[in-house]
Copies of this chain bind each other. A is one copy, B any other.
Amino acid sequence: MPDAMPKPSATGRGTTDKRAAILDAALELFVELGFHGTAVPLLAKRAGVGAGTIYRYFENKEALVNVLYGEWKEKLATHLLSGFSPGGEPKAQFMGLWRRMSDFAAQYPTAYAFIEIHHHAAYLDAAAHEVEQRYLQMAVMYIQNAQAEGKYRDGPPEVLWSLVEGAFIGLARFSRGGRLELTPEVIEFSGNAAWELVRRR
């Protein structure tokens, strides 16, 4: 068991290279082959490191997938929150959210797929579930606020969020199939449609 594992935010660079390479390789392979379907030696090879090296950065395979989940879900949350302006046109606000989701899915398609696929895996630990919880709460609060201001359709906010996020996941899945690119036009079109899911009428 490594005594002091190199942290991701190390200052010196170089130390972190391998950790990042491992995480990147894991992201790809876990999406492609699944967690249990990915052998550590293969992962090591894809990352360009020795198999043993992985265990210098992560306690074991399970820890690795949990770190991966936590980091990316956090990153997604941060991304969605960034540039969020509380007041303003409700539709513009929604479209902003939809665009940020799209940005993220377009920029990190594998990471978005990873998050989506692993959202309820048996090997996710308490920490990962907590990140998950906070993410959902954030979303729910967003909806509740908009409902409180009379902008959004009434109803259980979790349900509304499930529909909106689900719709986006459907779009992202389809674009992952390679038969659709997330162009600005597609994003506008789908965002406009999704807006109707939530808007009060």
A residues neighboring B (CB under 8 Å): 3, 32-37, 45, 117, 119-123, 153, 155-156, 158-171, 173-174, 176-177, 179-180, 186, 189-190, 193-194, 196-199, 201
Would A193 and B163 be within 8 Å (CB), given that A156-B180, A158-B179, A169-B170 are in contact?
A: yes
| Chain B residues positioned under 8 Å from A164 (CB to CB) | 167, 170
6 pairs from A and B in contact (CB 8 Å cutoff) = A117-B117, A120-B177, A156-B180, A163-B190, A164-B170, A166-B173
Which of these, B33, B35, B156, B198, contacts A122 with CB under 8 Å? B33
CA of A32 to CA of B123 in the docked complex: distance in angstroms?
10
- Chain B residue numbers with a CB within 8 Å of A199 are 196
Name the B residues within 8 Å of A122 (CB-CB): 32-34, 37
Distance (Å) between the CB of A195 and the closest chain B CB?
9
Q: Are B174 and A170 in contact (CB under 8 A)?
A: no
CB distance from A169 to the nearest CB of B (A): 5
Q: How many copies does the complex hold?
A: 4
A161: B residues at CB distance < 8 A: 170
Instruction: Tell me how far the C-beta of A58 lies from the nearest C-beta in chain B, rounded to whole angstroms.
Output: 17
Contacts of A3 in B (CB 8 A): 45
Shortest distance between the CB of A10 and any CB in chain B (Å): 20
Q: Which 9 A-B pairs have the closest CB atoms?
A: A166-B170, A36-B36, A196-B196, A162-B170, A162-B174, A163-B167, A167-B167, A36-B37, A166-B166
Contacts of A190 in B (CB 8 A): 159, 163
Cα–Cα distance between A123 and B121 once the two chains are bound (Å): 18
Cα separation A157 to B194 with both chains bound (whole Å): 15
Q: Please measure, in the bound complex, the distance between the C-alpha atom of A45 and the C-alpha atom of B194, giving whole angstroms.
A: 45
Is there an interface contact between B180 and A158, defined as CB atoms closer than 8 Å?
A: yes
Taken together as a complex, chains A and B put the C-alpha atoms of A36 and B39 apart, in Å, by: 11
Interface centre among A33, A119, A197 (most CB of B within 10 A): A197
Q: Is the CB of A171 within 8 A of B180?
A: no
Distance from A66 Cβ to chain B, minimum over Cβ atoms (Å):
15
